[in-house]
């Protein structure tokens, strides 16, 4: 009897439904704890932002604050003399919006050329796009710094706001991949109607490429909003700083003591990125998948 | 000779060609001014005694490179960089592969988990680096508290010379989003028939993974490893916000070494040499991967 029950169990484990059920259990047993781990940094950030200072250093650490202190957000925002979060946020926003537009314009033009125009030397230049996709900008900062110094651009937003108007290899590649999927017949039909390339681009490609352009805009938003290296390098005076630099100055000013205020401003800094990510998630995932596989 | 590369073409084709170059012109200018120009400028400047002003540069030959090679801290930072590159490739890519396999399961709510796993990547920046200082706090941090609950005495993480690099690698495993998604797309591209025929042959989960998934995924895996090597060189934010190269020199990586030389010690000639070396190391690593890749990457077309 016992032996038969055992055999049934073994059979069940080997049966298709059994395997499927075990698969689902194992999957969730991994998915859920990992999901919690991935969210934990945010919970720590927000919960610290809501605590009074004496509870921040309490042991054992509590994820849910005993008393909620909303003033931390306002105090953090106005907290320190020369660090002005309103100015920093405004600067970040201005640079980010400019860079999104610049990238879109310059990359759309280049991507259209690489996807749809015939020219001698095209393959060579496309190989250059691919090669420079992997070049980390950090390695070029020293000579770029010299260049922008020569232009008299230090301590202005120009070193951050001008280069995006000159293309970005990753975005050119991404858009080109998308443009290649637009049916040739549409272009032929437009050509018969006498449309030039500018019109084909504006009236056919751009409307059809909204998902790809949305992907690009989201990438550009997040990259520029989080950019720390560039502003740290080129900006000096408090009036021109961006948000990430403000956060670091705050850290320096308080010498790692006012954690609740620091986490409050960090939370504020992260919220725009979170919103963009949540609403643009689908485009985002598709865009990355395109860059990796269909190449 | 020139004719071979530029054959005669019709007037219409010439017009199209002009439009092509007009459209790529912004990118082309950017390439020359912001990338290629700086790369060669950097090479030139690395042979000078450049400190602050560019006006009275002296050519010093290989002196900067000689100084670098004599500086023990330079070698420490090369070692630290390679340590982190290897750690991020080994742990980061395997972890991303595990996540991708999980996200490839057909269970309810998978889109939600995909978003959650991607989340730390988009928010990676100064704000989250600040949070991690707090998470890593040996006494009050959530990490060691959790470990204590399961009976493990946690290490001092970023505050110890031995643990700082593993800590940074651990933290970077939270932002493997892009490579996770690329691997996921790769997994979804593996033809179902291959799994079905493997099952008919009586293959188990492991056999299918080792003999179908991995070979079919190898081109994607290869691409992902290259990306993760390159991004391992770009970890300036964490280093600047969390460790400033310390404790001691134990998290001094090349990008930090470059930064210190250029903008703190104002030895720009030396910094240019460091940048050039970084550049060469990256090219060598990528080249080496292409060479090794020929042996292990399986391309369908060849079969």
- pLDDT computed for residue B108 by the predictor: 82
Residues of chain B neighbouring A139 (CB-CB closer than 8 A): 233, 275, 278-279, 282
Residue ranges per structural domain of chain A: 2-69, 82-293
* pLDDT of B245 higher than 70: yes
Please answer yes or no on whether A119 and B33 come within 8 Å at the CB atom.
Answer: no
Task: Write down the H helix ranges in chain B.
Answer: 2-5, 11-30, 37-45, 63-70, 72-87, 93-103, 110-122, 126-135, 142-149, 164-172, 177-188, 192-200, 205-208, 214-232, 236-238, 254-259, 268-296
Q: Which of B131, B182, B226 sits opposite A134 (nearest CB)?
A: B226
For domain A82-293, the CATH class is mainly alpha
Q: In B157-166, which positions are buried (b, 16+ CB within 10 angstroms) versus exposed (e)?
A: bbbeeebbbb
**In the predicted structure, residue B169 carries a pLDDT above the cut 90:** yes
Per the domain annotation, does B175 fall within a domain? yes
A217 in B contact zone (CB under 8 Å): no
Above 70 in pLDDT, residue B3?
no
Judge whether residue A279 has pLDDT over 80. Answer: yes
**Chain B CB within 8 Å of residue A96 CB:** no
Of B139, B174, B220, Cβ closest to residue A293: B220
Beta-carbon separation of B17 and A119 below 8 A: yes
Instruction: Please check whether residues B25 and B84 belong to one and the same domain.
Output: no
Note the pLDDT of residue B12.
79
Residue A95 confidence (pLDDT): 95
Instruction: Tell whether B37 and B104 lie within a shared domain.
Output: no
* pLDDT band at residue A295 using 50, 70 and 90 as cut-offs: very low
Residue B58 lies in a domain: no
Same domain, B80 and B214: yes
pLDDT value of position A149: 85
Most confident of A148-162, B50-64, B212-226: A148-162
Looking at per-residue pLDDT, the higher value among A15 and B275 belongs to B275
* B52: in domain: no
What percent of chain A is predicted at pLDDT more than 90? Answer: 13
Same structural domain, B152 and B16: no
Q: What does the pLDDT look like over B124-158, one tens digit per residue? A: 788 888 888 888 888 878 888 888 888 887 788 88
B9 and B144: one domain? no
Q: Are residues B185 and B280 in the same domain?
A: yes
Which residues on chain A are in Cβ contact (under 8 Å) with B126?
Answer: 226, 228, 244-245, 247-248, 266, 269
CB atoms A274 and B119 under 8 Å: yes
Mean pLDDT of chain A: 82
Task: Tell me whether residue B124 is in a domain.
Answer: yes
A152 touches chain B (CB under 8 A): no
Is residue B65 situated within a structural domain? no
Q: Are residues B23 and B110 in the same domain?
A: no
Q: Is residue B84 part of a domain?
A: yes
B234 and B133 within one domain:
yes
Whether B163 shows a pLDDT value over 70: the answer reads: yes
Q: Report the alpha-carbon distance of residue A77 to residue A263 in Å, rounded.
A: 11
Q: List the single best residue of B134, B218, B224 to mutate versus A (max A Cβ within 10 A).
A: B134
Average pLDDT, chain B: 84
* Average pLDDT for B105-113: 84
On whether both B120 and B241 belong to a single domain, the answer is yes
| Under 8 Å between Cβ of B63 and B48 | no
Specify the pLDDT at position B302. Answer: 42
Among B19, B107, B182, the residue with its CB nearest the CB of A117 is B19
Q: Hey, are the CB atoms on A142 and B9 less than 8 Å from each other? A: no
* B181 touches B115 (CB < 8 A): no
The verdict on residue B67 lying in a domain is no
d(CA B83, CA B232) in angstroms, rounded, equals: 10
pLDDT at B141: 81
The verdict on B7 and B108 lying in the same domain is no
Among A124, A143, A266, the residue to mutate for chain B (most B Cβ within 10 A): A143
Mean pLDDT of B177-190: 84
Q: Which residues of B touch A262 (CB under 8 A)?
A: 130
Contact assignment for A45 to B124 by CB distance below 8 Å: no
For the cut 80, the answer to whether the pLDDT of residue A93 exceeds it is yes
Taking the CA of residue A251 and the nearest CA in chain B, the distance in Å comes to 8
- Is there a single domain that holds both residue B229 and residue B83? yes
Tell me if A293 and B17 make a contact (CB, 8 A cut-off).
no
Q: Residue A258 CB: number of other CB atoms within 10 A?
A: 20
- Residue B66, CA distances (Å) to A191, A244, B74, B262, B278 in order: 62, 37, 11, 17, 16
C-alpha A100/C-alpha A221 separation (Å) is 6
DSSP B233: T
**Cα–Cα separations (whole angstroms), residue A242 to A61, B108, B151, B160, B264:** 32, 41, 43, 31, 21
Q: Which residues from B are below 8 Å from A33, CB to CB?
A: none
Closest to A38 (Cβ–Cβ): which among B116, B182, B185? B116
Q: List phi, psi (to 5°) of B59.
A: -75, 125
Q: Compute the distance between CA of residue B37 and CA of residue B39 in angstroms, rounded to an integer.
A: 6
* Structural domain span for residue B40: 2-45
| ipTM (interface pTM) | 0.81
Question: Quick check: B27 pLDDT over 90?
Answer: yes
Determine, for residues B37 and A259 on separate chains, whether the beta-carbon distance falls below 8 Å: no
Sign of the four-CA dihedral B289, B270, B167, A271: negative
- pLDDT of A106 reads 94
A28–B107 CB contact, under 8 Å: yes
Please identify among residues 225-244 of chain A the ones whose CB lies closer than 8 Å to any CB of chain B: 225-226, 228-229, 232-233, 244
Looking at residues A249-277, what average pLDDT do you find?
A: 80
Does some domain include residue B176? yes
């Amino acid at each position: 009897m016992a032996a038969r029950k055992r055999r049934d169990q073994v059979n069940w484990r080997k049966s298709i439904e059994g395997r499927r059920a075990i698969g689902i259990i194992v999957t969730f047993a991994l998915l859920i704890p990992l999901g919690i781990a991935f969210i934990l940094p945010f919970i720590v950030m927000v919960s610290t932002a809501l605590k009074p200072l004496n509870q921040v250093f309490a042991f054992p650490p509590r994820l849910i604050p005993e008393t909620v202190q909303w003033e931390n957000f306002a105090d953090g925002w106005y907290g320190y003399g020369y660090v002005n979060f309103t100015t920093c946020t405004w600067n970040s926003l201005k640079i980010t919006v400019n860079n999104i537009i610049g990238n879109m314009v310059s990359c759309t033009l280049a991507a259209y050329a690489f996807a749809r125009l015939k020219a001698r030397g095209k393959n060579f230049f496309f190989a250059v796009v691919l090669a420079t996709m992997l070049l980390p900008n950090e390695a070029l900062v020293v000579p770029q710094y010299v260049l922008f110094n020569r232009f008299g651009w230090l301590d202005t937003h120009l070193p951050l706001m001008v280069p995006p108007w000159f293309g970005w290899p990753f975005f050119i590649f991404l858009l080109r991949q998308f443009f290649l999927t637009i049916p040739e017949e549409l272009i032929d039909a437009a050509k018969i109607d006498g449309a030039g390339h500018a019109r084909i681009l504006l009236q056919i490609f751009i409307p059809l490429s909204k998902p790809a352009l949305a992907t690009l805009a989201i990438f550009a938003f997040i990259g520029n909003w989080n950019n720390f290296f560039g502003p740290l390098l080129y900006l000096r005076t408090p009036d021109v700083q961006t948000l990430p630099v403000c956060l670091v100055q705050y850290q320096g000013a308080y010498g790692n003591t006012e954690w609740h205020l620091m986490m409050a401003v960090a939370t504020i800094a992260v919220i725009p990125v979170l919103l963009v990510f949540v609403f643009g998630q689908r485009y985002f995932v598709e865009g990355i998948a395109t860059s990796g596989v269909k190449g | 000779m020139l004719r071979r590369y530029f054959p005669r073409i019709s007037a219409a084709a010439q017009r199209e060609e002009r439009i092509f170059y007009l459209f790529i012109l912004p990118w082309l200018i950017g390439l020359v001014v912001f990338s290629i120009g700086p790369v060669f400028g950097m090479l030139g400047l690395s042979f000078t005694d450049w400190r602050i002003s560019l006006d009275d540069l002296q050519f010093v030959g290989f002196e900067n490179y000689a100084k670098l090679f004599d500086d023990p801290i330079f070698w420490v930072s090369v070692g630290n960089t390679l340590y982190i590159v290897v750690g991020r490739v080994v742990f980061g890519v395997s972890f991303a592969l595990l996540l991708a396999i999980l996200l490839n399961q057909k269970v309810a709510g998978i889109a939600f988990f995909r978003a959650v796993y991607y989340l730390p990547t988009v928010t990676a920046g100064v704000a989250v680096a600040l949070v991690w200082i707090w998470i890593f706090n040996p006494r009050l941090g959530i990490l060691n508290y959790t470990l204590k609950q399961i009976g493990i005495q946690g290490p001092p993480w970023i505050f110890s010379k031995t643990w700082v690099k593993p800590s940074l690698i651990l933290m970077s495993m939270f932002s493997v989003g892009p490579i996770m998604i690329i691997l996921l797309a790769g997994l979804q591209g593996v033809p179902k028939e291959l799994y079905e025929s493997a099952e008919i042959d009586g293959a188990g989960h492991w056999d299918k993974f080792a003999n179908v998934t991995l070979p079919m995924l190898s081109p994607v895996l290869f691409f992902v490893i290259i990306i993760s090597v390159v991004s391992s060189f770009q970890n300036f934010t964490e280093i600047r916000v969390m460790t400033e190269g310390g404790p001691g020199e134990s998290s001094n990586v090349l990008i930090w070494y470059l930064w210190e030389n250029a903008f703190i010690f104002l030895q720009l000639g030396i910094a240019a040499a460091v940048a050039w070396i970084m550049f060469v190391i990256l090219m060598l690593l990528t080249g080496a991967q292409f060479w090794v890749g020929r042996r292990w990457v399986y391309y369908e077309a060849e079969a």
